[in-house]
């Protein structure tokens, strides 16, 4: 069955003004251009923050171990409670840090997407 409409040719991937031009080649003498600034260095953790993250839960666990050393049934239960509180405190801080790092990763991906829209290339990490 023949159509009366003119036959259209499907455009080839290499056709078009943008695809017809060859990509610029880098030589060894030319350094690769940097599209974005290098990642910022991670600042060192402050001592008070380190104490809050690790010291307070560690002191609670240590207090629980010391309480358990007294040997009565009440001190064993209280020591176990203190150890549980110390572990729970550490895990809450850990979950908070994991959540915040997810926000940082999301922000970095959003910056990469904006650069991709601007330049047409996904930035190297």
Instruction: Say what the pLDDT of residue 64 is.
Output: 95
- Number of domains within the chain: 1
pLDDT at 90: 96
Token representation of residue 37: 């600034």
- Judge whether 124 lies within some domain: no
What pLDDT score does 17 carry? 55
Distance between CA atoms of residues 90 and 102, nearest Å: 19
Print the domain residue range for 88.
46-119
Q: What is the pLDDT of residue 55?
A: 95
Taking the C-alpha atoms of residue 63 and residue 80, their distance in angstroms, rounded to an integer, is: 10
Is residue 2 included in any domain, yes or no?
Answer: no
Q: Does residue 60 lie in a domain region?
A: yes
In-domain check, residue 57: yes
Residue 80 lies in a domain: yes
CA dist 38 and 25 (Å) reads: 23
Quick check: is 13 in a domain?
no
Q: Within 13 Å and on the Cβ side, how many CA atoms surround 48?
A: 0
Q: How far is CA 112 from the centre of its chain?
A: 13
Q: Give the pLDDT confidence score for residue 2 in this predicted structure.
A: 60
Q: Decide if 125 is inside a domain.
A: no
Q: What is the pLDDT of residue 35?
A: 57
Task: Tell me the average confidence (pLDDT) per consecutive run of 10 residues in the chain, 125 residues long.
Answer: 58 54 59 59 85 94 93 89 96 90 84 88 78
53 located within any domain: yes
């Amino acid at each position: 069955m023949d159509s009366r409409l003119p036959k259209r040719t499907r455009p080839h991937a290499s056709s078009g003004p943008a695809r017809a031009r060859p990509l610029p080649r880098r030589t060894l003498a030319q350094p690769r251009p940097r599209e974005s600034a290098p990642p910022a260095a991670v600042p060192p953790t402050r001592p008070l923050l380190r104490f809050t993250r690790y010291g307070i839960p560690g002191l609670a666990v240590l207090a629980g171990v010391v309480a358990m050393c007294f040997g009565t049934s009440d001190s064993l239960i209280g020591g176990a409670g203190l150890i549980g509180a110390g572990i729970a405190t550490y895990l809450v801080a850990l979950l908070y840090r994991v959540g915040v790092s997810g926000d940082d990763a999301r922000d970095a991906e959003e910056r990469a997407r904006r650069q991709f829209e601007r330049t047409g290339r996904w930035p190297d990490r």
